Amino acid sequence: MKSEELFKDAKNYLPGGVDSPVRAFKPYPFFALRGEGSRLFDVDGNSYIDYCLAFGPLVLGHANPQVMDAVKEQLLKGSAYGVPTEAEIELAKDVIKRVPCAEMVRFVNSGTEATMSAIRLARAVTGKKKIVKFEGTYHGAHDYVLVKSGSGAAGLPDSPGVPEETTKNTLLVPFNNEEALTSLVEKKAKNIAAIILEPVMGNVGCIPPKKGYLEFLRDITLENDIILIFDEVITGFRIAEGGAQEYFGVTPDLATFGKILGGGFPIGAFAGRKEFMERIAPSGDVYQAGTFNGNPISITAGIQTLKNLDKKFYSELDAKGLKMRRGIQDVLHDASLEYQVAGLSSMFQLYFTTHEVWDYTQAKTADTDKFNHYFHTLLSNEVFIPPSQFECCFISKAHSSEDIGKTLEAMAEGIKTAEKK
């Protein structure tokens, strides 16, 4: 029970014993020793088939040899320079080639920085202050967007320390609801700089857009001089080579990235039309900077990761996603339950609710006690999913058919246990 002892010790030095809230599940989280392929190994000698994948980045699985070898080679040449590298151009070109809206890119260190900077840019470009976000979307932990957020903040009130002066400029609407947004835009368009969204909501489980909804957002933003920002920190490089904008065929003005782009190392990026991106310092007047921006380790890992991500890669990954979602449906059917199985591509979640889930309010009808029993049963059967009903599960290239089969067996038991409690 080394994890239990470590957690007890950690709580003396790290708030809540962890460095990010959702990691602190009860009674104590397992402490990682190492990862390999689809498996995560803990300090107590257990291993788990991992569908958390560090909350999304590890699309090739843990410790992919190609990525690790390139990183080792780069490490011997230094880990940060404070001057530009050729590799940054290479990764930028690759992003631009893949992502429809991307004509220029700025690399930063996290998804949080990416959305903060994209919003600042949108405000500068439009000369307007307000932004619209959707209930339950998560765009990182900065003040502009910490309002009815998903992920670890789901269900919590706005955080103390976030000034009202900031959040009064953040307007909220339910996702997938054209009327609510139309009515807001009719009233406030002249003050709205940007609409920011996760094109597939991945921080209250997994909620895809209704058919036509992204097109509707594109039209209403164009008609009202509002910048459309797709936060593709999760969907970017996960659901298609060019992310959700390629998958759904809707091109935003700006997009933000993180997670997969860094190949398992810290990164963020925002990208978009050249006329907007050139407003970023030093070519323009919108300030954005970072000691570790374009860090050579993350950039190297990103380049090697993206090399694997072609059409064939996504068709194989999507097939695994489909197999998983269909398998869960079958398990539910056998148990005569009508819970919702959500997701697309290699993203999935089981909601312990019989309501259809198209927005935050509907997601919140899920029974979190049942989810917790399910989560712990999976864990005791060597399957690790994110420890919250309101996160999304991910599949990687490293997950085998056998892994998925074993996982579905564990899920059948997990669902049974949840129902008995």
Nearer to ligand PLP, 54 or 189 (CB): 54
110 part of the interface to ligand PLP, by CB under 6 A: yes
DSSP class per residue in 369-392 = HHHHHHHHHHHHTTEE--SSTTS-
Q: How far is 332 from 110, CA to CA, in rounded Å?
A: 37
- Least separation in angstroms between residue 84's CB and ligand PLP is 23
Minimum distance, C-beta of residue 206 to ligand PLP, in the bound complex (Å): 11
Among positions 38-57, residues that touch ligand PLP (CB under 6 A) are 55
Number of residues engaging ligand PLP in binding (CB under 6 A) = 17
**Is residue 205 near ligand PLP by the rule CB under 6 A?**
no
Closer residue to ligand PLP in complex, CB, 267/331: 267
Three state DSSP letters for 8-39: HHHHHHCHHHCCCHHHCCCCCCCCEEEEEECE
User: How many C-alpha atoms does 156 have within 13 Å on its Cβ side?
Assistant: 14
CA 98 vs. chain centroid, Å, equals: 19
- Contact at 8 Å (CB) between 243 and 230? yes
- Cis peptide before 282, with omega less than 30 degrees from 0? yes
Does residue 325 interact with ligand PLP by CB under 6 A?
A: no
Q: What are the residue numbers of the active site? A: 138, 231, 259
According to the binding rule CB under 6 A, does residue 203 interact with ligand PLP?
yes
Does a cis peptide bond (omega within 30 degrees of 0) precede residue 27?
yes
The CA distance from 193 to 197, in Å, is 13
- Cβ-based neighbour number of residue 86 at 10 Å: 7
340 binds ligand PLP (CB under 6 A): no
258 is an interface residue for ligand PLP by CB under 6 A = yes
Does position 299 interact with ligand PLP (CB under 6 A)? The reply is no
For the CB of residue 201, give the shortest distance to ligand PLP in the complex, in Å: 8
Q: Characterize 201-237 residue by residue with b for buried, 16 or more Cβ atoms within 10 angstroms of its Cβ, and e for exposed.
A: bbbbbbbbbeeebbebbbebbeeeebbbbbbbbbbbb
* Residue 112 found at the interface with ligand PLP (CB under 6 A): yes
Instruction: Tell me if 237 contacts ligand PLP by CB under 6 A.
Output: no
Q: Are 382 and 47 in contact (CB under 8 A)?
A: yes
Residue of 140, 205, 272, 321 that binds ligand PLP (CB under 6 A): 140
Contact status: 262 vs ligand PLP (CB under 6 A):
no
Region near ligand PLP per CB under 6 A, out of 45-53, 122-130, 196-204, 376-384: 196-204
> Interaction with ligand PLP in 172-191: which residues (CB under 6 A)?
none
Candidates 30-38, 40-48, 132-140, 305-313: pick the segment binding ligand PLP (CB under 6 A).
132-140
- Paired tokens of 221: 């933003």
Q: Which residue has its beta carbon closest to ligand PLP?
A: 111
Asked if 135 touches ligand PLP (CB under 6 A), the answer is no
Distance between CA 234 and CA 217 in Å, rounded? 19
The residue ranges that bind ligand PLP (CB under 6 A) are 55, 110-112, 115, 138-140, 151, 198, 202-203, 231, 233-234, 258, 268
